[in-house]
Chains A and B, each alone.
Chain A
Amino acid sequence: MSISTENAKDIRNSMKVFCGISARDEGVNLTVTQSGAAAIDSNISTSIDTEEWDMRVVTDLQGTGFPLDGTAVWYSTGAATEDKGKLGIRSHVGGTLFVTVSASSTIGAVTVEFSRGTGTVTCNGETYEIAEKVIIPVGSTTANFSASSDDITHRVEIASITPGISIDFTNDDLVSCTLDLRSNLSLEPTWEVSSIEIQAYYPYEGNVENVLAQMGPDTQIYYYAGYPGDYSPRRYFYLSDVATVSENILLLTGEDASAKLDASTAESAVMMVSAPTAARQTYNKFVQTIRNAGVKLLSRQAAPEESGTSSVVRAQVYTESSARDLVAEMMNLCRIGTFWLTFVDAGRPTVYWSKPTSKWTIKEEDCGDVSIMPDRKIGKAKTTNSYGLYTRMLRASKATVLDESEVKANTIHSVYFDGWFMNIAVTNARIVSYGIDYVTYTALKDGKCRVTGRRVYAESAQKVVTYGTGKTVEYEPIVYGYSVTVDSGGTHHHLFPYYQSLGTRSNVTGSFTWKGNPKMQPRDVFTFQRLDGTSETCTIESIVMVHEGGGTTAVITYRKGIC
């Protein structure tokens, strides 16, 4: 069974969905001691914290006994291993376990996984019903709890105890899971954050109320879906609102890591870009901006190789901006030939530079609510900024003295320049930070500190760029000057920023309802096979995928062409 074969059917099998919270406290070691156990691993502190080891099926006469199909093994003590499986902590039949968990540092909660048994867990006067996973608030380095069986013919069996919170949902307890995977392909794009909303049946209010408030903004929410043997890669989101439980429904909302771009500042800088390495330098700048914002990339295409030979060098001034605006600007204005700067998150932060090709095929006959909406075309970009759009930035051949001051040792000073400068140097000082229009330094000794730098200035001011007929948009550039690249034949090409690329983007957009494929990403290119027999190459702008009632549907918006 695979996603593609199921999607080829009109009536397909229900997709399996897995999602939940994975807020395990990393780097915390647990030590577990207990009393009341009938069976326990000799290396319990290791085995109990290793969720992936299976519980061993042993020749246990509790309840109605054990299966005689060869799956049960003789009970034996000793250390648990991944191959042998583990005993965990198993009580006497109808008995009670008393467990003490000691952590190497303060933990907010422990998650206790029970593989079998019914009854209650008691900790600090609070009682919780035994379930597959029981979350016990801790708030210190030690937790003492008891687990009692309410069935005189069965044991309680603890499979794992892990620091932090771990809650998993499947089709059995999901009410709905909605993913809003977004990009912005409009003709004046900004950055769009993707989100997830999970509603699950969680009838353990007393279990989780106290710990929900402890879940911080870095609490990770995971999601994947598909069919056995063919699941989508895991997507990761981060808790964006307080998790709530109301009438047995747990509500979790999260957004992708790209939300961090908003809070990050891309510092101003001058970049000297040489034609043979222009693509590589621009790509590395792009990756660095994203990483500096705290986004951990799951996939990154290797930087492009050096191309051609040329001594052409151009200065580019990156003014201070939010990482979000700079990333959107670089993606929007770097679309030339096969060099296509792209960052996609939607739970799987990925950066690449190769122009994408069609990855999926969707037939209009399988879609509902098909609509087409043209945007107004853009024919002109202009700026009222004094530096213009295709301004060529030059740098002075010599350094200028920008400031000279008498200072005391170990004092901090900031100097702001009138204009833009590069190669900033300060004598008798250690530079703390600098940009194109300022420097902050710490004086090393009593005496003079001299600040020097090479002026960067605009050669000419081209304020309007025309690339077709249509409306005019006003641009406030973040990057001044432009870089050029050179091909193996020695021809130079404009690289970034390239305002003409705005005119090549299609103004035709559309949307449709479809079955949905959890592997699809925003900015994926697909072939849309129309009812009239024609095919169109389109780029996905957004996917709203809804898993509800056992079914899956998706609403997809797209823009014609490769964007």
Chain B
Amino acid sequence: MADYITIDGYGVYRPPEFTLEREDVYAGEIITCTGKLCADLVGWRYADMTLSWDALPQSMVDTLIGMSGASQLAFTDADGTTHTESVIRTSAVYMQHRDTVNGTTWWRNVEVSVRFINVH
């Protein structure tokens, strides 16, 4: 049974390689006269990532193309809970070629990059 993420409420197959990384966000950095780093920990956010699929049906590609401004990406993280994050698309939606199978149009080698906006 396929695993899904949702983008703006619409289900999209979970990319085969959907590895989330959390990165700390720092601000107010100072390098002291002993070379030590002092900074303020603002929070953490998910690192920028590229979502890629071997193939996606037209309806799901339409969801990717329809992303405009801040979109809501919902997924299950390694902690087993569902997270909803605001993301912005940072690239065009790339696709290589399409096939039509049993009346459904499929696009191959689909790829799009996103950036996570929220800092927790």
Q: A residues bordering B, Cβ < 8 Å?
A: 10-15, 364-370, 513-516, 531, 546, 548-553
Look across to chain B and name the residue whose beta carbon is closest to the beta carbon of A370.
B33
Q: Which B residues are within 8 Å of any A CB, using their own CB? A: 25-34, 36-43, 119
What are 25 A-B contacts defined by CB distance under 8 Å?
A: A10-B38, A11-B38, A11-B39, A11-B40, A12-B38, A13-B41, A14-B27, A14-B40, A14-B42, A366-B32, A368-B30, A368-B31, A369-B33, A370-B33, A514-B30, A515-B30, A515-B40, A516-B28, A531-B33, A549-B28, A549-B42, A550-B40, A550-B119, A551-B40, A553-B28
Cα A267 to Cα B26 in complex, Å, equals: 54
CA A531 – CA B36 in complex, angstroms? 13
CB atoms of B30 and A553 under 8 A apart: yes
Chain B residues near A369 (CB, 8 Å)? 33
Give A514 to B27 CA distance when docked, in angstroms. Answer: 13
* Residue of chain B at shortest CB distance from A548: B27
What's the least CB distance linking B53 to chain A, in Å? 33
Residues of chain B within 8 A (CB-CB) of A515 are: 28, 30, 38, 40
Write out the residue numbers on chain A whose beta carbons fall within 8 Å of the beta carbon of B39: 10-11, 551
Are A513 and B40 neighbours in the complex by a CB distance under 8 Å?
Answer: no
Complex CA gap A371/B119 in Å reads 36
Chain B proximity of A230: nearest CB distance (Å): 16
Q: A280–B26 Cα gap in the complex (Å)?
A: 51
Closest to A515 in B: B38
Cβ of A365: which chain B residues have Cβ within 8 Å of it?
A: 32-34, 36
A550's contact among B32, B33, B38, B42, by CB below 8 Å, is which? B42
Residue numbers in B under 8 Å from A513 (CB-CB): 30
- Tell whether, in the assembled complex, residue B33 and residue A368 are in contact, meaning their CB atoms are under 8 Å apart: yes
Q: Are A13 and B33 closer than 8 Å at their CB atoms? A: no
Q: Please give, as numbers and ranges, the residues of chain B lying within 8 Å of A364 by CB-CB distance.
A: 33
B27 touches A10 (CB 8 A): no
Residues of B within 8 A of A10 (CB): 36-39
Q: How far, in Å, is A4 (CB) from chain B's closest CB?
A: 15
How long is the Cα–Cα vector from A513 to B39 in the complex, in angstroms?
12
Please, which residues of chain B bring their CB within 8 A of the CB of A514?
A: 30
Complex CA–CA separation, A34 to B58 (angstroms): 52
State the CA gap A551–B40 with chains docked (Å).
Answer: 5
Q: Hey, which chain B residues are within 8 Å of A553, CB to CB?
A: 28, 30
**A-chain residues with CB within 8 Å of residue B30 when the two chains form the complex:** 367-368, 513-515, 553
A368 to chain B: which residues have CB within 8 Å?
30-33, 38
Task: Tell me which of A11, A14, A15, A516 contacts B43 (CB under 8 A).
Answer: A14
B43 cross-chain contacts in A, Cβ below 8 A: 14, 550
> How far is A550 from B38 in the complex, measured between Cα atoms in Å?
14
The complex places the Cα of A208 from the Cα of B118 at a distance, in Å, of 27
Give chain B nearest CB distance to A555 CB in angstroms. 10
A13 cross-chain contacts in B, Cβ below 8 A? 40-41
Q: Establish whether residues B40 and A15, one from each chain, have CB atoms under 8 Å apart when the complex forms.
A: yes
Given the contacts A368-B33, A370-B33, A551 and B38 also touching, CB distance less than 8 Å: no
In the assembled complex, how far is the CB of residue A13 from the closest CB belonging to chain B, in whole angstroms? 6
Of the residues B27, B32, B34, B36, contact of A549 by C-beta under 8 Å: B27
Whole-angstrom distance between the Cβ of A64 and the nearest chain B Cβ: 15
Cβ of A552 and Cβ of B33 under 8 Å apart?
no
User: What is the minimal beta-carbon distance from B117 to any residue of chain A, in angstroms?
Assistant: 12
Minimum C-beta distance from B4 to chain A (A)? 23
Please give the distance in Å from A452's CB to the nearest CB on chain B.
67
Asked if A550 and B31 make an inter-chain contact with CB atoms under 8 angstroms apart, the answer reads no
Residues of A within 8 A of B38 (CB): 10-12, 366, 368, 515
Residue of A370, A546, A551 with most chain B CB atoms under a 10 A cut-off: A551
A sample of 6 more A-B contacts (CB under 8 A), given A366-B32, A367-B32, A369-B33, is: A10-B37, A12-B38, A12-B40, A14-B40, A513-B30, A548-B28
> How far, in Å, is B45 (CB) from chain A's closest CB?
11
Contacts of A12 in B (CB 8 A): 38, 40-41
Q: Are B34 and A531 in contact (CB under 8 A)?
A: yes
Min C-beta distance of B72 to chain A, whole Å: 16
Give the nearest-CB partner of B34 in chain A.
Answer: A365
B37: A residues at CB distance < 8 A: 10
**Chain A residues in 8 Å Cβ range of B42:** 14, 549-551
* Cα–Cα distance between A365 and B31 once the two chains are bound (Å): 10
A551 and B29 form a contact (CB under 8 A): yes
- Find out whether the CB atom of A11 lies under 8 angstroms from the CB atom of B41: yes
- Closest 3 pairs between A and B when the two form their complex, measured CB to CB: A551-B28, A551-B27, A550-B42
**How many Å lie between the Cα of A553 and that of B36 in the bound state?**
15
Q: Are A551 and B32 in contact (CB under 8 A)?
A: no
| Smallest CB gap from A514: residue in B | B30
Cβ distance A198 to chain B, nearest Cβ, rounded Å: 17
| A550, B27: Cβ atoms closer than 8 Å | yes
Kindly list chain A residues whose C-beta atoms are within 8 Å of the C-beta of B26: 11, 551
In the bound complex, CA of A516 to CA of B27 (Å): 13
Name the A residues within 8 Å of B29 (CB-CB): 551
Query: Nearest CB to that of A13 among chain B residues?
Result: B41
* Bound form: Cα–Cα A546–B27 in Å: 11
Complex formed: what's the CA distance from A501 to B104 in Å?
91
Q: B119 to nearest A CB, angstroms?
A: 7
State the CA gap A553–B39 with chains docked (Å). Answer: 9
Q: Are B41 and A14 in contact (CB under 8 A)?
A: yes
Question: In the docked arrangement, what's the CA distance between A513 and B31, Å?
Answer: 9
**Nearest-CB residue, chain B, relative to A516:** B28
B57 to chain A minimum Cβ distance, whole angstroms, is: 32
Give min CB distance, A368 to chain B, whole Å.
Answer: 5
> Which of B26, B28, B33, B42 is packed against the most chain A CB atoms within 10 Å?
B28
- Bound-state CA distance A551–B32 (Å) is 16
Q: How far is the CA of A514 from the CA of B31 in the complex (A)?
A: 9
CB distance from B97 to the nearest CB of A (A): 42
CA–CA, A509 and B14, complex, Å: 61
Q: Which chain A residues lie closer than 8 Å to B32 at the CB level?
A: 365-368
